[in-house]
Structure 1
Amino acid sequence: MYFQSLLRSLLFSPLLPLLFLSSPATTTAQKLDETAFKLKESGYNQYIAPLSQLLPKASVLEVLAATNHDMVALDVLGLGMSYRATRWENSASFNDFGTTSWYPQGISTSADAYDVGTYEGKRVTLVSWYDNRDVPAAENKGVRIAFVDRDKSPDAYRYVLLVEPYSNAGTADFRSVKVHAGGIAWYGNSLYIVDTDNGFRVFDLTQIWKVETGDGIGRKAGGGFSAANYAYVLPQSRTYTPADPPSPGIRFSFVSLDRTTTPDSLVVGEYQPASFTGPRRFVRWSIDYTNRQLITNSAGVATATWAYQVNIDRMQGANSVNGKFYISRSNGGSNGDIISWVPGNLANIAGGALPEGPEDMSYDKTTGTMYTLTEAVNGRYILPFDPTGLP
């Protein structure tokens, strides 16, 4: 990786308006009252137990052993940056690189899952994709997760469909999870997925189920279960929904795990276009490593531990590392930016450093490597880089 030039601007000072990153109608960057941001934890999904008696289980390692798509390693350039990236399969029979039916969004790795950096000895990356087809809601397949085995050569992956167990006329069943999945965070055996206006959905990686072939999602008329011809499903186990939110409520656009705080924490940020006149914020919630759940009070309410109004337009992802933020920003059909910032200080912008369409971010503390990914059609990559090259 090399880094050429950064534009340092008078931004993020608590005393100055954000003249370049935000709409003129927005206010200055400022710390917010974190106690205004609360999430109510649900109980564990009651329909998982009966379904787990009917469906055979598969482990993460079994899914990785059954990968059926290969990635391609290649060099990708941004302005002043180069990446040894991987791109999704683009073959005559399968084209993730250029499909318009599905779009990649969130990224997390085994270094989020466990502090050692591996999951049961494997280096793994998870990436969320949402169904972008213009179809009736009943036909929408929702979200799939690419399980990428980075110990194979080349990197290889297989999809697992997210499902929500529920009662279908009194019978345990499952259905698709229709969210944008703009950010994900893998923590132990829990996978946190942002639900834009509704907080977090959490999925239990100890309950991956094998299903039969079939176009439908859930119980089949003739018996058994299918998931739009995906071989595996991952069930939603609990939710965290906003409780007495401020106005406007926080937009859960992306999320990342911060292992440099004590306790570990999840950081959520907001994507907003330049035309939006409200705030753009970061909010942090602490997470309990013993049960992989947000830290709550006796009423099951998780209160944020930190919140800040930053007012950066078009934020797509962010990592917080030892108090410093690294933010990906999209610029329509042009290259994206990397912004680095320490709260209360000036920000630095690496303009055009990312390819078109940057999204969520993840940080591997064990190697010092940061990851992001891109969603642009025929420009979809997983991009690792060394953040120490950024001021």
Structure 2
Amino acid sequence: MSARKRALALATGVLALVATTSAATTNAYAASAPTSLPTSQFTLTSNYHQYDALNSALTTKLGTASVDTVMANANHDRTAISNPGVAGYVDGFGFDSGDNNDCTNYPQGITSSRDAIGTANSGNYDGHQLILVSWYTTAGCGGAQSRSRITLVDWDATYPNDYRKILLVEPTGTAAAPSFKDITVHAGGVSWYGDYLYVADTGHGMRVFNLKDILKTNTGGTADQIGRQSDGTTYYAHNYAYVLPQIGTITAATTSGTPLVWSSISLDRVSGSIVMVEYTCQSGCTAYPNRAPRAIRFPFASGANTFAATTTATQALQLPWYKLNGVASHNGRWWFNSSGNKQLYYWTPATGSHTYAWVSGGESLSYWEDTTNADLLWSLQETQGHRDVFAVQQATYGP
């Protein structure tokens, strides 16, 4: 057992009583609970081969890098944090000072190699136990969204406490002259399942990437250069050394009369599904819908980590809570994070709903299965200057 795993095990045991006691002081039954909606109203259409020809050409031009290679070249140091003010806190980390204080980049989604491959081999993907965080970038402080990226963070004492940024790109051009461009989605949620990375695309559904397809790009040039250059052999990506090209799209449709707002997603490995949630306001919002939000479960094809050509939802809920930036589900249990109310809601049909105190600026949630220690919930904060990524005991927030 690595030093970090021993520390986690010790922390889990020591914090168990403290977490239970602390949670009891903040736990209250919510006044209302989710209600069911017709699942037939919500469908997905998948295309995993949308960019096959372009990606094949890009791979020939640039070559790929494995996750292990990317992490061997990790060039940012993650930092230590203390408890951000939540019951059941186990461990966590921060980004370096540049990322922690950057007014043009904001962390949003979270997933991990435990999502990708489960508990086998301690959740190691390509030899690494990893936390993956999605970010969106703006054109200047407070500007419009201009691109998206992910951060791969080593989470095992076997390796240095490092992380590496990878730019998300959409293939463009032709097979003879392939290129790529920025992806301007909010990247509010991510789910890693097998080799596939699913990224929430607010008004459309999800974009799909493959972690086996990381491309090597040229560094240098100017910060605004992106894609194939005039010499036909140089490919810049805002000085990123690695890019992850989109391979396909998962498109959402509904007959409910109100399109889904894909604010956040997460993986439920037990049922083999992705769950999504909408960020909405009760009233007074101009940039977001003013209505009750929904949470929808979409199953993967049987025994696969891909969706069928057409998928119908297997669970659809209308929620009584608002300003939801995070969702998780596992074994029929649901968690919802409200950044606006600084609360974490827990619900099952059998036990009803509970409300817990949570962090400010809270974003996505990810469930961390563990065969030897307590299961965890991972989350993060987007607040500039206070971007903690942290794990709490799942049992502190619902049985």
**TM-score, normalised relative to structure 2:** 0.84
Deviations 1:188-225 (A, max 9, x none): 11100000001010011111110002331100123321
Q: How far does residue 345 in structure 1 lie from its aligned partner after superposition?
A: 4.4
Please, which of 111, 127, 137 is the counterpart of residue 114 of structure 2?
111
Aligned twin of 2:345: 339
In structure 1, the partner of 2:62 is: 55
Corresponding residue SS for 2:82: strand
Counterpart selection for 1:349 from 320, 344, 355? 355
Q: Secondary structure at the match of 1:229?
A: coil
Residue 41 of structure 1 corresponds to 46
Q: 1:154 to 1:66 in 2, by over 3 A?
A: closer
Contact preservation (8 Å) 1:218, 1:227: yes
TM-superposed deviation, 1:369: 1.4
CA contact (8 A) 1:85 1:383 kept: yes
Q: 1:260 to 1:290 in 2, by over 3 A?
A: closer
Distance 1:79 1:173, change over 3 A: closer
* Aligned match for 1:365, one of 359, 364, 369: 369
| 1:316 alignment partner in structure 2 | 325
Superposed CA offset, 1:76-98 (max 9, x none): 232555453211101xxxx1111
Matched, 1:182 2:188: yes
Whether the 8 Å contact between 2:68 and 2:127 is mirrored in structure 1 is no
Report matched runs for 1:16-95 at 5 Å: 29-44=34-49, 45-46=51-52, 47-78=54-85, 80=87, 82=89, 84-90=91-97, 95=98
CA contact (8 A) 2:203 2:262 kept: yes
Give the superposition deviation at 1:370: 1.2
Q: Secondary structure at the match of 2:81?
A: strand
Task: Note the aligned Cα RMSD (angstroms).
Answer: 2.3
In structure 2, what is the Cα distance between the partners aligned to 1:386 and 1:342? 18
Matched, 1:150 2:158: no
Change (3 A) 1:247 1:279: farther
For residue 324 of structure 2, what is the amino acid of its counterpart?
M
Whichever residue aligns with residue 171 of structure 2, its letter is: P
Quote the Cα distance in structure 2 between the aligned partners of 1:210 and 1:291.
Answer: 29
> Which structure shows the bigger proportion of residues in strand conformation?
1
- Tell me if structure 1 keeps the 8 A contact 2:254–2:260: no
Report what 2:265 is aligned to: 255
CA distance in 1, matches of 2:254, 2:290: 22
C-alpha distance 232-245 of structure 1, shift in aligned 2 (>3 A): farther
1 CA distance for matches of 2:274 and 2:30? Answer: 28
Kindly indicate whether the alpha-carbon contact (under 8 Å) linking 2:38 and 2:316 is maintained by their aligned counterparts in 1. yes
* 2:229 paired residue number: 220
Q: Match for 1:274 among 275, 282, 293?
A: 282
* Aligned residues of 2:104 and 2:142 also touching (Cα < 8 A): no
Residues paired across the two proteins, number: 360
Match of 2:28?
8
The one of 339, 342, 345 aligned to 1:330: 339
Q: 1:110 to 1:304 in 2, by over 3 A?
A: same
Q: How far 1:327 moved relative to its partner?
A: 1.8
* Shift, 1:132, TM fit: 2.2
Q: Tell me how far 1:277 sits from its aligned partner.
A: 3.7
Amino acid at match of 1:193: V
Is 2:170 the counterpart of 1:167?
no
After TM superposition, the score normalised by the length of structure 1 is: 0.86
> What whole-Å deviation, never above 9, does each CA across 1:225-268 have from its counterpart, x for those lacking one?
1100000000100001123542211111101100122xx11000
1:135–1:73 Cα change, 3 Å: closer
CA contact (8 A) 1:328 1:337 kept: yes
Pick closer, same or farther for the CA change 1:69–1:7 going to 2, 3 Å. Answer: same
**CA–CA separation in structure 2 for the residues paired with 1:131 and 1:289:** 36
Residue 300 of structure 2 aligns to a residue in which SS? strand
- Counterpart of 1:207? 213
Where 1:99 maps in the other structure, the secondary structure is: coil
Separation in 2, partners of 1:158, 1:62: 11
Q: Matches of 1:384 and 1:350 in 2, distance apart? A: 15
Closer/same/farther in 2, CA of residues 120 and 171 from structure 1, 3 Å limit: closer
Following superposition, the deviation at residue 43 of structure 1 comes to 4.5
**Gap regions ≥5 residues in structure 1:** 14-28
Q: 1:377 aligns with which of 378, 384, 387?
A: 384
How far apart in 1 are the matches of 2:257 and 2:145? 31
Higher helix fraction: Structure 1 or Structure 2? 2
Q: CA deviation at 1:326?
A: 1.7
Amino acid in the other structure paired with 2:330: V
